Amino acid sequence: MKVLVCISQVPDTVTKVVLKNNNTAIEESGVTYIINPYDEWYALIRALELKEAGIADVVHLITVGRANTEPVIRKALALGGDEAIRIDADSNDAFVTANYIAGYAKNENYDLLLCGKESIDYANGAVGPMLAELLDVDFVGFAADIKPDGQAVTIKREIDGGEETDSVNLPVVISCQKGVAEARIPNMRGIMAARTKPLKTITPEAISSVTNVAYYELPAAKSGVKMIAPDQMDELVNLLHAEAKVI
């Protein structure tokens, strides 16, 4: 089985975001970037578990980004990926990203294409289903368990009010979420090996975006905490009703 894992670079959640150009762009100096957690902790780790179990033969990684994304993709290689591909382009448009990945993957005969359920920066969860459509293969989202069996794969996924089990023929694109794998960190051996693993850079033909960012907006600053004595329940109820407006 040949597996491709989609990796995206996102700002660390502890990074203080500063906006510029009339709130139409993010000031990147001082921003710490990481692998999107859903891509790393679930999609990538599940792919590596399949390889360790002898089910997957190779695990390739792919990302869309400029040279500054290479430290992130090297970390993914340190976790255990065999080879990485970087599509040398900028994009915050899911359609463009999916097109770039599909353009590479369509001739590579991947059986299983994994991605996180969404990225923590834009949180739109659109690349996976778009990629499946462009490759003309099935898509299953929000997978909490993935078990390949020959030319098919059984997937458990969360749905409103319960859980669903699907059986899908390969090839298939699957987006992953919590429960599909156990997170791990790179060890020294993996970090050293990642330096020599192949990282291929591809310059794609330009694709026009179908969406543009109008502006960004920071969340409202958190207010201070009010402490209420245990014997002042009437005051607590009044504050929840009048100030917090949750009751």
* Residues sharing a CB contact under 8 Å with residue 187, sequence separation 6 or more, in sequence order: none
Question: What is the tens place of the pLDDT at every residue in 99-115?
Answer: 999 999 999 999 999 99
CB atoms within 10 A of CB 41: 20
User: Which one, of 6, 14, 40, lies nearest residue 110 by Cα?
Assistant: 6
Give the Cα separation of 168 and 24 in Å (integer). 41
Q: Is 172 exposed, middle or buried (0-12, 13-18, 19+ CB in 10 A)?
A: buried
Beta strands in 128-214 (DSSP E): 138-149, 152-159, 162-169, 172-176, 199-202
pLDDT in tens, 214-241: 888 888 777 778 888 988 899 889 888 8
Is CATH 3.40.50.300 correct for 2-218?
no
What's the predicted TM-score (pTM) here? Answer: 0.85
CB 177 within 8 A of CB 128: no
Provide the 10 A C-beta neighbour count for residue 161.
5
Going by DSSP bridges, is the β-strand pair 83-87/199-202 parallel, antiparallel, or unpaired?
parallel
CB 4 within 8 A of CB 39: no
pLDDT-based confidence at residue 206 (cuts at 50, 70, 90): confident
Q: List the one residue out of 162, 161, 156 whose CA is nearest residue 177.
A: 156
pLDDT attached to residue 108:
95
> Comparing 66-70, 176-180, 195-199, 228-232, which segment has the lowest mean pLDDT?
195-199
Q: What confidence tier does 14 reach under pLDDT thresholds 50, 70, 90?
A: confident
Contact 142, 129 (CB under 8 A): no
CB count within 10 Å of CB 120 equals: 16
CA distance 231 to 22: 49
* Cα gap 54→51, rounded to integer Å: 5
Mean pLDDT of the chain: 90
Asked whether the beta carbons of 190 and 80 are under 8 A apart, the reply is yes
Name residue 165's beta-bridge partners.
Answer: 156
67: CB partners within 8 A, 6+ apart = 88
